[in-house]
Amino acid sequence: MNILTAKYKWLPFSNASGALLSETQSCSLSLTSSHQNHVEPMNDTRILGFLLLGLSEEPELQPVIFGLFLSTYLMTVFGNLLIILAISSDSHLHTPMYFFLSNLSFVDICVTSTTLPKTLSNIQTHSKVITYAGCVTQLYFFVLFIGLDSLLLTVMAYDRFVAICHPLHYTVIMNPQFCGLLVLVSWIMSALHSLTESLMVLPLLFCTDLKIPQFFCEIHQIIHIACSDTFLNNLVMYLSTVLLGGGPLAGILYSYSKIVSSIRAISSAEGKYKAFSTCASYLSVVSLFYCTGLGVYLSSAATHSSLSSAAASVMYTVVTPMLNPFIYSLRNKDIKEALRRFFRRKK
């Protein structure tokens, strides 16, 4: 008997979320072209989609969550676009540090654009479904841009290291070609890592549990609900976390240990303040990025509460990109002056 026609059909979800459910309890949300009389995970199994549970399943909270996510998304896009426009329109900011900052702002827009539009659409349409192809695509771009965030922060730390520890050679070392090469290498490394993670998800088999306790397709959650062997996936995921998370963090810590030593060697208090002020905004962004990222990891490892894990992910993927423009515009005198000149020209 053909399982495709006998076992599956579209049914409304009980809370009007609109999900594809099976009439039986075995391997729901999956299709197979096999003509066997029983259902089990098979190599030709095709998953139609997943359910993104989001932050809450309470109907009365959905308008509140929608409003918060929408306002956060608009502030993130608007704030980071302002940073990019201010840097590109002001010749005084055509330096390596602000070149890397404009790239970071672009990536922050991409991070939130990967997750929030789908979340807002699901809330608006009262649906929790994301297709299998959509989930894998979202996973690819999310891993790509989060990895880019980490690598660009490392490049920015190296830029400050050269500027403070080797000021006489700064313009020679951080020439436009080398800066472009650093950004290009960051894109290539992150793209390869993201492609590897995404391709390794494709062979995974899924059975009854297709609910992702997140508002987006997070790789850890996808691997967790798979019913096939995930040893290799977990191994690659943890290795990549160490290499692309711990490696950049080690580079940042090393760079700033040298920077602190150089600042301490400056005799005048004014010189120390000027050197430190160029790094203050960056240190705030790095602390926010890695502390929230560590919070996500610890919350998922220490507790099985889906709500706490999702809330930690909001801080990591939504709040941090939104706060970055405010940190740079409030603490950076050059950015504030560039924004003033930009708005004067518009008036």
Average pLDDT over residues 250-271: 88
pLDDT of residue 343 exceeding 60, the answer is: yes
pLDDT given at position 300: 62
* Angstrom distance (rounded) from CA 191 to CA 256: 27
Residue 148 lies in a domain: yes
* Angstrom distance (rounded) from CA 86 to CA 333: 12
User: What domain count does the chain have?
Assistant: 1
Residue 163 lies in a domain: yes
Work out the percent of the chain whose per-residue pLDDT is above 70.
82
Residue 107's domain spans which residues? Answer: 49-346
Residue 267 lies in a domain: yes
pLDDT given at position 43: 43
pLDDT given at position 302: 59
Residue 98 identity: Y
CATH classification at residue 205: 1.20.1070.10
Please state which of the ranges 264-278, 287-301, 329-343 shows the lowest mean pLDDT.
287-301
pLDDT given at position 15: 40
Residue 162 lies in a domain: yes
Encode pLDDT of 244-253 as tens digits. 888 999 999 9
pTM: 0.83
Burial pattern 242-267, b for ≥16 Cβ within 10 A else e, equals eebbeebbebbeebbeebeeebeeee
CA angle 338/71/106 to nearest 5° reads 45
Residue 309 lies in a domain: yes
pLDDT given at position 11: 35
Residue 16 lies in a domain: no
Residue 18 lies in a domain: no
Residue 324 lies in a domain: yes
Encode pLDDT of 195-246 as tens digits. 999 999 999 988 877 899 889 999 988 998 898 889 999 999 889 888 888 8
pLDDT of residue 51 exceeding 90, the answer is: yes
